[in-house]
Structure 1
Amino acid sequence: MIKYKWCVCDMDGTLLNSDNVISKDNEVALKKLQKMGVEVIIASGRLDLMVKTYIKQLNLKGPVISCNGGLVRNIETGEVLYSKVMDKIAVKEVTTYCNNSEIEFIIYTADLVYSTKNNRVGKRYADRNKILLQDEQIPIKYIDDKVMANINDIDAFKVLLVCEKHEDIILLQKHFSKYDNLTVVSSATGLLDIMASDISKGKALEILSKKSNVSLDEIMVFGDNYNDIEMFKCAGMPIAMENAVEDVKLAAKYITKSNNESGIAYAINNYILKE
């Protein structure tokens, strides 16, 4: 009898390989857990509306932790289980700074993604929309002068800064970390996530576990980057990908194979099911 009730998976660099695909091995292993009564939950820096394809592939029915914990929403009913939007003045200051400094960015809201036209992440989402079914497409609106003029009308869960050089991200992280009302964390090379204060995947997982009466000791988590560390600190079984940053590996109980080697499946079959 397996002792875990939840299997929580980060997306990029963890559940998804470098082609943004859930491998067959990962799919089979996660569905095996589901048959054993384990609920699979996605915990992503992305908005939940951006992972509909993967939700459908894994036949998920419950909550999704998105925007690094800024929004927790039931994917079947649409019920918001937890949310915390950014301070509107802070959103304006961050986006104005980026605009003036020619830094590309994306704003995540409950039902829409605002993106500058030239950034690589926004372009990837737009290109992906071309091959997705209509109900799986990412709702994107491009940022122009009108959007900037009405920025105070936007309820943002996250602002994602996109830079070509990670050195620029490090400088931006230092700059915005001075704000008491913001949480600032790098989620991948060249990306900086900015959310409301006291937001993390770990905090969201704690809130969700209390609501659902699931002990944190009964939760396994998979991740690879800095925005996964708080989740690793609170879960009973934190497992890092081989491609994870060193700080994530240090917080893990196991280190599995990389995201390009179906590391989640390897860990499930070789660590979890053999406990």
Structure 2
Amino acid sequence: MKLIAIDLDGTLLNDSGKLNSYDIHIIKKVLQAGHKIAICTGRATFDVQSLLKNDLEGLKGISIIASNGANILNDNFQLIDSTPINRQSIKKITDYLIQQNLYFELTTSHEIMVPIDGKEILQTEIAKVISQDPIINEQELWEQAIPQFSQSGIKPVNKSDWLATCKNKKSNINLPIYKILIFSYDHKKLLTTANTFTNDTDLSLTSSAKYNVEIISRHINKGISVNSLAEYYHIANEDIAVIGDNHNDLTMFQVATIKVAMENAIPEIKELSSFITRSNNQNGVAYALEHQLQLIH
């Protein structure tokens, strides 16, 4: 039995954010062969469940590693481990992001809180980019942001209410926050933000796309959680395989024995890979599982 950890965006999802039918077909065959599949993503658990609901619901063997490792769910979608960001760090980060007028998201166990004026923030940034370079296509820029607003569980929040909103209304207990994502078309602002928090000993920073920075607890990442899930299922390290494409996949590529990079992956991922498969628009996951890892007999 092997554990195969598969990233979503840029890997299992095509550029339109959809699951490829042939990838699904092959994943089902891999599960039927007795292997374990883990969806390993920066997305929230409930967002992953929503994406998988129509095509993979009810199939035994699919686990979820969400929020870049901060949540681990077994193949019954029961939470087996979670690692939130500490409260002091959350306040420090949100105060900074509000002051900089940046779009950001706070992921809890059941919703993703975003600024109530989030779309306006990004539209203002797009207008600024186009004013500096009129050749840039406005629609193409906006399409980069659409996945942020199409996630499940989006909850617009007034900026003054951030920390008050991050409480359980019945118990008044602070809700754990597992990931903070910053999205911006202003490269300088994004870089400055990353530099501001990169040396914070309580935080870990990564990215899953050109226009974002993702912050989680320093004590977790995809690699740590892939190892934890393998231990949970009593799967040896040599039987762990990973498939991914971007910066937030690097830690799982560093811990796995078998590493498959997508054709559309960043160079750093390809350098660590055992195989390079086809792109996310060409059933790259299915090709890797069927032909490179040879998990179907």
Following superposition, the deviation at residue 217 of structure 1 comes to 1.2
| Structure 2 equivalent of residue 143 of structure 1 | 157
Structure 1 residues 87-115: Cα deviation after superposition (integer angstroms, max 9, x where no partner): 10100111110000011100001111101
Contact map agreement 2:85 2:216 (CA 8 A) in 1: yes
Contact map agreement 2:105 2:112 (CA 8 A) in 1: yes
2:114 partner amino acid:
S
| Structure 2 equivalent of residue 103 of structure 1 | 102
CA–CA distance in 2 between the matches of 1:75 and 1:103? 36
2:29 partner amino acid:
K
TM-score, length of structure 1 as denominator length: 0.88
1:18 partner amino acid:
D
| Structure 1 equivalent of residue 70 of structure 2 | 70
CA–CA distance in 1 between the matches of 2:110 and 2:280? 29
Report the number of matched residues.
262
User: The residue matched to 1:193 in structure 2 has which SS?
Assistant: strand
Q: Give the aligned CA root-mean-square deviation in angstroms.
A: 2.2
CA–CA distance in 2 between the matches of 1:219 and 1:74? 16
2:240 partner amino acid:
I
Contact map agreement 2:98 2:159 (CA 8 A) in 1: no
Contact map agreement 1:166 1:191 (CA 8 A) in 2: no
User: The residue matched to 2:27 in structure 1 has which SS?
Assistant: helix
CA–CA distance in 2 between the matches of 1:51 and 1:106? 16
CA–CA distance in 2 between the matches of 1:219 and 1:149? 39
| Structure 2 equivalent of residue 184 of structure 1 | 205
| Structure 2 equivalent of residue 170 of structure 1 | 191
| Structure 1 equivalent of residue 25 of structure 2 | 28
Moved more, 17-26 or 149-158: 149-158
Gaps of 5+ in 1: 130-137
CA–CA distance in 2 between the matches of 1:269 and 1:81? 30
Following superposition, the deviation at residue 273 of structure 1 comes to 1.4
User: The residue matched to 2:207 in structure 1 has which SS?
Assistant: strand
1:170 partner amino acid:
L
| Structure 2 equivalent of residue 197 of structure 1 | 218
Moved more, 8-17 or 167-176: 167-176
1:38 aligns with 2:48: no
Following superposition, the deviation at residue 219 of structure 1 comes to 1.6
CA–CA distance in 2 between the matches of 1:52 and 1:156? 18
TM-score, length of structure 2 as denominator length: 0.82
Structure 1 residues 163-183: Cα deviation after superposition (integer angstroms, max 9, x where no partner): 114444333222211211001
Structure 1 residues 200-243: Cα deviation after superposition (integer angstroms, max 9, x where no partner): 10001111211221112112111001110110111121100011
| Structure 1 equivalent of residue 87 of structure 2 | 88
| Structure 1 equivalent of residue 268 of structure 2 | 247
Structure 1 residues 121-141: Cα deviation after superposition (integer angstroms, max 9, x where no partner): 886454x47xxxxxxxx2222
CA–CA distance in 2 between the matches of 1:143 and 1:75? 33
Moved more, 117-126 or 104-113: 117-126
**Structure possessing the higher radius of gyration over alpha carbons:** 2
Do the aligned partners of residues 44 and 197 (structure 1) sit closer, same or farther apart at CA in structure 2, a change above 3 Å counting? same
1:9 partner amino acid:
I
1:216 aligns with 2:237: yes
Gaps of 5+ in 2: 123-143, 168-173
